[in-house]
Chains A and B, each alone.
Chain A
Amino acid sequence: MAESSAGAAETRPAFRARHTPSFWYRLTNSEAVLALVCIAPATLLLLFILAYPVIQTLAFAFYSRDLLKAELGTQFVGLANFAWLLDYDRFWLALQNSVLLTVVTVFFELAIAMVVALMLAEPFRGVGIVRGLFILPWAIPTIVTAFVWRGLFSPRYGLINQVISEVGRLVSGPSYQFQFDWLSNSAFAMLGVIIVYIWRGFPFVFLVLLAGLQSLPQELSDAARIDGANGWKEFWYVTLPQLKPVILIAVILRTITVFNWFDLVWLLTGGGPQNATLVLPILVYNRAFVAFQVGRASVITAVMFVILAILTYFFLSQQRDEEHAR
């Protein structure tokens, strides 16, 4: 060892000349190549099943294709579809409705799920059954959810109006009857849709938060309590900060889902009344499968994709910044 150290300066060039590793040796011993080879199958698969359709959809945004005028074929129209979109008042209305629906739904899902998760985080007798019941709405098929809620909102026979009627009878007399068409009234339809979205979606957030809560170290909470923190302070200063990464993931996933959710709102209101619940996925559906305009449907999809990509990047960068700060 000492010998080699002493003579290192003189011997290194000669050694290098004789022992420069071959290209093949470097290739087969490279960490980077190994990493590339390991992730290549998954990457190729993802490229095929995810990137290809996305790129094709984005590409279609620059083409005009009307299936009812198929003889015109597919024509490159540059930014014409984008120009059309900017002038299309229903797009702005749908965007506004989509943002409202997503923000309100995700906020309340998070709030309700947090309360329920905190209540059910600690074990008690029958906790499994109670947790199962809270997860139930998530397991019900969308079509069943839609028809059950349409029934509940039904103006004449719906449970909601029946309950209000019963209360009204106690106050105003036995002849009182409340009949309100929740989903057909342009002022209330969005509220109805939001309620159903929250009901259907909060179990997922609840599950994510519950898993997060159960993985938190108990020591910090114990220490906070010893230091005299009450329940609220313990939650605000100890539990919530630790849960932040989990919350962020739940918010990202739910934002993407709610923003792209088509079937539930379609089955509940079809985007009406008077476009009160018209959201971007309905706009895409109508453009692609009613108007048969593939290019214009694609341009709306492209905008949705960009919005969600920016939002996801924003959320993830928040998380990264926090991790760096720690």
Chain B
Amino acid sequence: MMSRARFTRRAYLRLIGGTVGAVAVAGLATACGTPPAPTATPAPAAKPAEKPAEKPAAPAPAAQPKPAEGDKTLVYWTFMPTDQRFAGRKTLFPQWGEKNKATIQIEDVPAGNPFNQKMAAAYAAKLLPDLLDPWDSNATISFASQTFIIAVDDLVKDIGKDDFFKVGLDFGTWKAKLYGIPLIGWPHLMHYRKDWFEQEGLKPPTNWAELLDVSKKLHGKTKDGTQIAGISGFFASIHAPYMFQDYVGPNSGYTFNEKGDVVINSKEVREALTMIKDLVPYFQAGYGNMDYGTTRTQFVEGKIAIETDSTSMANVIVKTKPELGAKVSSVLLPFGPSSKKDRSGFNGISYFSIGSQSKYTDLARDFLKWFYSTPIYTEAFMTYDWGLIPERRSVAESQDWHKKVPEQAKPIIQAGVKAAELSTFPGQDFGVNPIANKLLADDVYRNLLQKVAEGKETVDAALKWAEDEVKRIVKEN
């Protein structure tokens, strides 16, 4: 009874009403009151400016440190973890910073959706980074079309456009403007166990007939106590398009021609698919659901004789299995019977771009000019992980760099530089094509490979199916 008398329903409702009213009045007062004095830092959680590179990941786009007096801070979002893959940023970037009274604040952001989402949020909050490295052509184009980044044609012209691999420039170009400076590439090659080839008296294959022959001869052999597979296959959703391209590209096949017509049902692609079908018995067990990260592991563990994979293999060998360096070699992907030898397999290329909301655009451009200057860009590649190919030809071919490459990585790097000139992309044979993403979304390449590999349909029937699918997707979009 006492409690009822003290705190009645009416009192409760009054309390609620009073609280709501107070909150409303306070809100009104805040909204109508004098705005707070503008501050240089929008984020409360400031990081120490003197140690910008040591923070592994930024929790939010707003987390920018207050720059020192007279100093400018350029925020740089990178998908390549600094400590693991590019420790040299910590020593290189301050060199430019000292001269320009500026700081490059590096924030590691995982590639893919986390990066996309963070960019979208930052754009809305007007907190886009000043610098960023979109991890591939699609990311660059997506950011360009959303006006997250600005065109850099004149900058590339100043640096030396002709010195960049054409493929890199083509795939950073959208609506006739270049939106990212090609930074690094990791083209696909054929890696093979040199020691096993020698033991069996085999030579590295340069064409498909030889590739089939050596795969057949090596498959099922016991090496170092393990029964090995002849050659790698990787049909997992994420990498099946690359597998398709690693055979179609070196046979001069296309999904679309220059006019954008669907030309996937061609002799070149048919030969490529027939080759894949012929190789199926020599793939490692479980290829149907494997990505090339797994086949790389199996190759390094001595379970596969030949592996189609990117130049990143060099870093794996140098850092985790240096003793394998003497036993492994790498060459360009073998060419098919219809090849004009002007095209090879897949290549991943990342770019360096400038955020469209940057307050320091001139400074960012100056930084990029400095970074891409031959000595700095060369030095940068001495600190990148081994297995990434510079996109500037003069640096990729420079003896200064090649001399510094560890011995185990040299064959991979040498072949990788050649492959960088010839690299191709599934569905994007003549530059950026947004339809390619729609083909990936509907798993067209993977389904095509699986149809061919399962053998329930002929290669012709599978190819006809793919042609119809691509045409349908083109029509829908």
Contact = CB atoms under 8 A, between A and B. Distances in A.
Query: Do these two chains interact?
Result: yes
A272 B145 CA distance: 31
Interface of B is mostly: helix
B195 to A, nearest CB: 23
Q: Report the interface size class on chain A.
A: 35 or more
**Which size bracket describes the interface of B in this complex?**
35 or more
B405 interface: no
B49 interface: no
Given A28-B10, A68-B437, A154-B286, A273 B235 contact: yes
Contacts, number: 104
Contacts of A290: 437, 440-441
B235 A286 contact: no
B14 interface: yes
Contact of B441 (A69, A183, A287): A287
Nearest to A270: B237
B285 A29 contact: no
A274 B240 CA distance: 12
Contacts of B9: 28-29, 34
A184 B287 contact: yes
A90 interface: yes
B210 interface: no
Interface string A118-159: 000000000000000000000000000000001000111000
B425 to A, nearest CB: 14
A308 interface: no
B224 interface: no
B442 A270 contact: no
B147 interface: yes
A68 B285 contact: no
A271 B237 CA distance: 8
B176 to A, nearest CB: 13
B288 A286 contact: no
Nearest to A186: B454
A273 B288 contact: yes
Given A28-B9, A275-B447, A69 B235 contact: no
A33 B116 CA distance: 46
B286 A272 contact: no
A183 B437 contact: no
Nearest to B236: A270
Interface of A: 27-29, 33-34, 37, 66-71, 84, 90, 150, 154-156, 179, 181, 183-186, 269-275, 278, 286-287, 289-293
Given A181-B288, A270-B238, A272-B443, 8 more contacts: A28-B9, A66-B477, A69-B145, A270-B237, A274-B454, A286-B440, A286-B441, A290-B440
20 contacts: A28-B14, A29-B9, A37-B13, A66-B477, A67-B145, A67-B146, A68-B141, A69-B434, A84-B476, A90-B442, A184-B288, A270-B237, A271-B443, A272-B443, A273-B288, A275-B443, A289-B113, A290-B437, A290-B441, A291-B440
The 8 lowest CB-CB distance pairs between A and B, nearest first, are: A184-B288, A270-B237, A291-B441, A156-B285, A68-B434, A290-B441, A155-B285, A70-B145
